[in-house]
Structure 1
Amino acid sequence: MPDGEPSSLLQSAKQDGTPVAGVDEKLGTIIPEGIMLRDEAGNLVDARSLMTVPTLVAPVYYSCPTVCNMLQSSIARVLPALNMKAGTEYRVLSVSFDELDTPELASHKKKNYLAAVGGDYPPDGWRFLTADLPNVQRFMDAIGFRFTRQGRDFVHPVVLVAVSPEGRITRYLYGNGFLPFDVTMALHEAAEEKVGLSLRRAVSYCFTYDPKGRKYVFDVMKVAGVVILFGAGVLLFVLLRGGRRRN
């Protein structure tokens, strides 16, 4: 299974014309209420009721032999580096798109991944959910996630979806490896109800992650270097232009 790629670029089309797997980005769209999922204990919950804080949604299936495990392992690695309180300042939802997955299997996966996170990570910070087929389809359609069953397995993209406390989709994070900065920025954008900014990469260049303080600090030296290079370029342009005029 390849890593997830931006909207409509994951491509595993069948010859019979059925839809390919991929992501149709729905930035700014609000996930509707009334999509019912089952939690690890088998209780029915409205998906939106779990999105009261900035939320990262991981569409997976729990029997996936490869990339779903890689995706969730990457989440487990990055969570300890977030300078935010799980369950109160953000939440992660692993949502299975396999209607055959059970709450018992979800509970087993939760124990494994919370152990991988380590420390005293609150159970409410990362929920593992299942659903019947109609609700699977409604939820995955709501976030623009398309997948195709192939026997017992699936062809599917690999992506995290950031959702605001109002249920608004604010960013898509592709692939199965994430930097703490990217996840932190996605959660802060969601907290402010901001739909993904195109300047994110430029902004991230100006910050450096401090592992001791577990936060991002403004990198003065890096930005100063850019300013100096820009200034030198402007000066060179002025000098060359002045020389041409004299000639």
Structure 2
Amino acid sequence: MDSDSRPVRLGDAFGARPVLLVLGYYRCAQLCGLLMHGLLEALHDSGLPRGAYRIVRVSIDPADTPAAAQAARQANLAYADALEGGRAPDAPLELRLLTGTEPALRALAQALGWRYRRAGAADGPQEGYAHPAVVAVLTPAGRVSHYLPGVRFDPAELRLAVAAAGEGRIGGLSDRLALLCAHLDERLGRHSAAVMQAARAVGLLTALALLALVARLARPGRKAR
């Protein structure tokens, strides 16, 4: 359901342009707001026309209502307008905020490889959600092109990611690792086992590449320059 209480499908947001997909929840007082501010600032500084992309936020909290989505949407639009410094933008910001049911939200997160869980003690009150800060840049066909982790984004990198998604290009291993590195186990204060395994794999591949280079340079008969 969207912020106007209309039943919609996520697929309705695709087909015309790249989509910047942001998962979080609308009652989040810290991380989600910082991420959206960072994204809107980077989009403003990137020089991208507003018609080149669409932003879609989806709440992972099934208790979030269309009214909560509408309030968050108005706050985001006001921030984007403030960045213009009184100048009229080239077009309205296309920003959709959606809510959903628990099964649908879990399925979406799983499809993205995006993990989250309820925060707080199991036998205590809910304290929101623990989740990564990531913007997924999707192609018009709905395929993930890039992951941009964090709450601050390089405008030039964002512009290139949107352009690549618009051409239907799909990211590689580095993008999957970027999403893995967005998962932080706050209970341990360090990255999860999946991240550590990925880091070890990258380290091993780098070491093998260096060994291959050394072996090639050391071959008999190779002349030194």
TM-score, L = length of structure 2:
0.67
2:46 is matched with 82
2:179 is matched with none
2:37 is matched with 73
Give 1:162's match in structure 2, choosing from 137, 161, 168: 137
Listed as ranges, the gaps of 5+ residues in structure 2 are 120-125, 176-223
2:102 is matched with 133
Which entry has the higher C-alpha Rg, 1 or 2? 1
CA contact (8 A) 1:76 1:114 kept: no
CA distance in 2, matches of 1:128, 1:66: 18
> Between Structure 1 and Structure 2, which shows a larger proportion of helix residues?
2
Q: How many residues align?
A: 165
Please state how far the C-alpha of 1:54 moved relative to its aligned partner: 0.4
CA distance in 2, matches of 1:79, 1:116: 12
Give 2:4's match in structure 1, choosing from 33, 41, 51: 41
- Aligned residues with identical type, % of pairs: 27
CA distance in 1, matches of 2:74, 2:95: 10
Q: Please give the residue correspondences for 1:230-245 in structure 2 after superposition, counting only pairs within 5 Å.
A: none
> Between Structure 1 and Structure 2, which shows a larger proportion of strand residues?
1
CA distance in 2, matches of 1:51, 1:83: 22
Please state how far the C-alpha of 1:137 moved relative to its aligned partner: 1.3
Q: Please give the residue correspondences for 1:1-247 in structure 2 after superposition, counting only pairs within 5 Å.
A: 38-52=1-15, 53-86=17-50, 88-118=51-81, 119=84, 120=88, 125-150=94-119, 151-196=126-171
CA RMSD of superposed structures (Å): 2.2
CA distance in 2, matches of 1:142, 1:125: 24
2:200 is matched with none
Say which SS state the counterpart of residue 146 (structure 1) adopts: coil
Deviations 1:24-80 (A, max 9, x none): xxxxxxxxxxxxxx1110111111110221011111111112111110111121222
Say which SS state the counterpart of residue 8 (structure 2) adopts: strand
2:204 is matched with none
TM-score, L = length of structure 1:
0.62
CA distance in 1, matches of 2:105, 2:173: 30
**Stretch deviating more after TM superposition (137-146 or 162-171):** 137-146
CA distance in 2, matches of 1:84, 1:91: 11
CA contact (8 A) 2:77 2:93 kept: no
CA distance in 2, matches of 1:47, 1:124: 18
Please state how far the C-alpha of 1:169 moved relative to its aligned partner: 0.7
CA distance in 1, matches of 2:40, 2:101: 26
CA contact (8 A) 1:71 1:158 kept: yes
Listed as ranges, the gaps of 5+ residues in structure 1 are 1-37, 201-240, 243-247
Change (3 A) 1:197 1:133: closer
